[in-house]
Amino acid sequence: MSTLSVIGTLYNPRKKKISNCLRQASQIKLDAIDSDTIAHEKCLRAQNSLFGKKMKRAALLQSILSMTEIMPTKSYAKVDRQVLENIGCGCYTKNKNGKYEYSYEYLYSNIQELISEKKIIYLMLGMKEYCLVEGLEENFYSTHSTCLILIPRDTEYDAYYINSHGRDMVDTHSFVRRLTKRRTKTVTFNAPYELIFIDNLIGYWNTLKDFNNNQIKIKWDMTKTHTYYSTDLQAGDYYGVCYMFPQVIWHHMGEFYTKKKTIEMECGKTVINTGEELLKANQLSIFVKYAFTNFNKDYCTTFIKHINDKYTKSSDDPLQNTIATSRTAFIKCILCSLVRYMKQI
Among residues 1, 23, 5, 65, the alpha carbon closest in space to that of 252 is found at: 5
Among residues 60, 47, 37, 68, the alpha carbon closest in space to that of 107 is found at: 60
> Using alpha carbons only, what angle is made at residue 339 by residues 337 and 340, rounded to the nearest 5 degrees?
65
Neighbours of 96 (CB within 10 A): 5
Query: Mean pLDDT across the stretch 31-51?
Result: 95
Whole-Å CA distances, 188 to 163, 177, 185? 19, 11, 10
> Do residues 92 and 100 lie in contact, with contact meaning Cβ atoms separated by under 8 Å?
yes
**Rounded to an integer, what distance in angstroms lies between the CA atom of residue 139 and that of residue 132?**
7
Beta bridge partner(s), residue 144: 127
Query: Mean pLDDT across the stretch 51-68?
Result: 97
| pLDDT confidence of residue 48 | 94
What three-state secondary structure class fits 331? Answer: helix
157-162/140-152 β-pairing = antiparallel
**Judging by beta carbons within 10 Å of its beta carbon (0-12, 13-18, 19+), is residue 223 exposed, middle or buried?**
exposed
Q: Say how many domains are in the chain.
A: 1
Q: What is the mean pLDDT of the chain?
A: 94
| pLDDT confidence of residue 237 | 92
pLDDT in tens, 261-312: 999 887 779 999 999 999 999 999 999 999 999 999 999 999 999 998 888 8
**Rounded to an integer, what distance in angstroms lies between the CA atom of residue 37 and that of residue 10?**
27
**Judging by beta carbons within 10 Å of its beta carbon (0-12, 13-18, 19+), is residue 75 exposed, middle or buried?**
middle
| pLDDT confidence of residue 119 | 98
Q: Can you give the residue range of the structural domain that contains 224?
A: 4-344
> Do residues 107 and 89 lie in contact, with contact meaning Cβ atoms separated by under 8 Å?
yes
- 340 Cβ contact list (under 8 Å, min separation 6): 7, 11
**Rounded to an integer, what distance in angstroms lies between the CA atom of residue 237 and that of residue 32?**
18
H helix or E strand, kind and range, residue 144: strand 140-152
Whole-Å CA distances, 103 to 63, 82, 94? 12, 22, 11
**Rounded to an integer, what distance in angstroms lies between the CA atom of residue 169 and that of residue 164?**
9
Query: Mean pLDDT across the stretch 217-227?
Result: 97
Asked if pLDDT for residue 207 goes beyond 80, the answer is yes
**Judging by beta carbons within 10 Å of its beta carbon (0-12, 13-18, 19+), is residue 311 exposed, middle or buried?**
middle
| pLDDT confidence of residue 13 | 65
| pLDDT confidence of residue 2 | 93
pTM check: above 0.85: yes
Helix axes 193-205, 107-116, angle to 10 degrees: 60
| pLDDT confidence of residue 69 | 96
Please tell me the least confidently modeled range out of 7-21, 81-95, 246-260, 296-310: 7-21
Among residues 244, 262, 250, 245, the alpha carbon closest in space to that of 339 is found at: 244
Asked if pLDDT for residue 139 goes beyond 90, the answer is no
Length of the chain (residues): 345
What three-state secondary structure class fits 208? Answer: coil
| pLDDT confidence of residue 162 | 98
Asked if pLDDT for residue 334 goes beyond 90, the answer is yes
By percentage, how much of the chain surpasses pLDDT 90?
84
Asked if pLDDT for residue 96 goes beyond 90, the answer is no
Please tell me the least confidently modeled range out of 219-223, 257-261, 264-268: 264-268
In the chain, DSSP finds a helix count (H) and a strand count (E) of: 14, 11
**Rounded to an integer, what distance in angstroms lies between the CA atom of residue 266 and that of residue 75?**
52
Asked if pLDDT for residue 111 goes beyond 90, the answer is yes
